[in-house]
Homo-oligomer: A and B are copies of this chain.
C-alpha cells in the first residue's frame, strides 16, 4: 500500500476527485444483459417508451463504474460493511462521462482493532454536465498508518 491514503490522512470535510469513465451504449447493454436485463437498459425503442425516455444504464452499472473510480485511488481500504441512502437521481446515458467525488463525513478509530479505522464517505457520481446522477453514503474500513 505504498502511497496509500491511510485513515490518518483523512480529515472530516476532505474531498477527493476520482477520475472519469466514458459510458457507451454497448457497455450499458453488456452489463444489463448479464445483471439487469430490463428492457429500458437493453433496447433503445423499449427505453423510449419507459419512464427513462431513452436508453439508460442500470443503476447497478452506475454503482459498479463508480466503485471502479474509487478503487483506482490509492485508498488503504480493507473492505466495507455496507452503505446507506443510495439514490439514483438522473438517468445515465450513452455518451455521458461519469466522474466520482468522495467527501469524508466522519471518522473514528476502531475500538477493537488498533490497526484499523472507520470512516463514512459521501460518494457522488456526476455526469459531464456536472449533474449528480447517483449518491450514497459509504461506510469504509481503512488501514491505519503503520508505525515507522
Q: Is the CB of A36 within 8 A of B64?
A: yes
A59 and chain B: residue at smallest CB distance:
B80
A63: B residues at CB distance < 8 A: 60, 63
A130 contacts the other chain (Cβ, under 8 Å)? no
Min CB distance A40 to B, Å, is: 7
Q: Is the CB of A85 within 8 A of B82?
A: yes
Segment at the interface with B among A50-58, A92-100, A119-127: A50-58
Q: Is the CB of A51 within 8 A of B141?
A: yes
- A sample of 13 more A-B contacts (CB under 8 A), given A34-B64, A37-B71, A60-B64, is A37-B68, A50-B78, A50-B79, A51-B78, A51-B141, A52-B79, A59-B80, A59-B82, A60-B60, A81-B88, A82-B85, A82-B88, A84-B85
Distance between Cα atoms of A50 and B76 in the complex (Å): 12
Work out how many copies of this chain go into the complex: 2
Distance between Cα atoms of A52 and B87 in the complex (Å): 28
Distance between Cα atoms of A60 and B82 in the complex (Å): 10
With A52-B79, A82-B88, A88-B80 in contact, is A68–B34 under 8 Å at CB? yes
Q: Is the CB of A79 within 8 A of B51?
A: yes
Min CB distance A19 to B, Å, is: 13
A50: B residues at CB distance < 8 A: 78-79
